Amino acid sequence: MAKPIAERRQGVGFITPLLVLMLAAFNLPILYMLTLGFWSKEGGFTFEHYAQLLDTPIYLRVLANTMRVSLVATLVNVAIGYPLAYWMRGLSPRAQFIAVSLVIVPFWISILVRTYAWIVVLGNNGMVNRLLLWSGMVDTPVSFLYNELGVMIGMANVLLPFLVLPLFAAMLRIDDRLMQAAASMGAPNHTIFLKVFLPLTLPALAAGTLLVFILCLGFYVTPAILGGGKVTMISNLLDILINQIPRWEQASAVSTLLLIVTLAIFAGYRALDRKVGT
């Protein structure tokens, strides 16, 4: 309902502090970061940092690397998360509560602690390797750490709740009677899953997958620790450009590229979502 203009102006007064805070603390730094990339050392406008992005193979290689690691970590997440959420849906309410708690508990533990915990689990002398050696499945320890495998395992672990929780919530909303009706109509169980259950979870799955993928793109701690400096993702590159060889302009250009790629992926998702939704 349209309110009188005077009344609407009154409302603006209340949110002004928040608007100012958002602008000053959040939007202005981003704007500053974006403009830095167009600022030459001598002062004035330049494209040289972006030209360097394209000329130096390392930048695009790191971007491609980031995409690949993120994609695999996201797919692993889906492969584990979807069956997990599906299994949780079938549990009794009490068991569901316990399962949800187990998924959420890692959230409360610092990401740093969790990442180091993986070293204990996956290291050459770690639990997994000792089990593998003891069972005779391998002769020498498997290198889980300080390579892409370790990074992907670590990232999949950290991001699992971001996928499982919205997916589980969406699955809970699906009325059991839909599946019962489909069964009474003679549909075999795999048809019920593919034609009824899966399509109804797709929007939540797509949103969760996108969220996980975008979070993957910006990961820093996990690749830094579990990658042992050998797996370079964009955030680690930014760290080098800012903290080790201070080249803020170049960092700005890289960040801008990452932002554009992320927005492009999001726009693609929205376009797809709208097409499916109608």
**Binding residues for another protein (CB under 8 A):** 175, 177-178, 180-188, 191, 195-196, 199-200
CA distance 138 to 133: 6
Positive or negative, the Cα torsion across 93, 99, 101, 107? negative
CB of 94 to another protein, least distance (A): 15
Q: Which is nearer to another protein, 140 or 184 (CB)?
A: 184
Nearest residue (CB) to another protein, 109 versus 178: 178
Instruction: Map the chain to HEC letters.
Output: CCCCHHHHHHHHHHHHHHHHHHHHHHHHHHHHHHHHCCECCCCCECCHHHHHHHHCHHHHHHHHHHHHHHHHHHHHHHHHHHHHHHHHHCCCHHHHHHHHHHHHHHHHCCHHHHHHHHHHHHCCCCHHHHHHHHHCCCCCCCCCCCCHHHHHHHHHHHHHHHHHHHHHHHHHCCCHHHHHHHHHCCCCHHHHHHHHHHHHHHHHHHHHHHHHHHHHHCCCHHHHHHCCCCCCCHHHHHHHHHHHCCCHHHHHHHHHHHHHHHHHHHHHHHHHHHHHHC
Q: Shortest gap between Cβ of 198 and another protein (angstroms)?
A: 10
Closer to another protein by CB, 188 or 229: give it. 188
Beta bridge partners of 39: 45
Q: What is the closest distance, in whole angstroms, from the C-beta atom of residue 199 to another protein in the complex?
A: 5
| Nearest-approach distance from CB 155 to another protein, in angstroms | 32
Shortest CB 188 distance to another protein, Å: 6
d(CA 213, CA 15) in angstroms, rounded, equals 33
Closer residue to another protein (CB): 95 or 181:
181
The smaller minimum CB distance to another protein, of residues 22 and 178, is found at 178
Which CB atom, from 57 or from 186, has the smaller least distance to another protein?
186
Instruction: Between 128 and 187, name the residue whose CB sits nearer to another protein.
Output: 187
Quote the CA–CA distance of 212 and 209 in Å, as a whole number.
5
Sequence-separated (6 or more) residues with CB below 8 Å from residue 48: 40
Minimal distance, residue 189 CB to another protein, in Å: 8
Q: Which residue, 71 or 207, is less far from another protein as judged by CB?
A: 207
Min separation Cβ 218 and another protein, Å: 33
Q: How far is the CB of 74 from another protein (least distance, A)?
A: 24
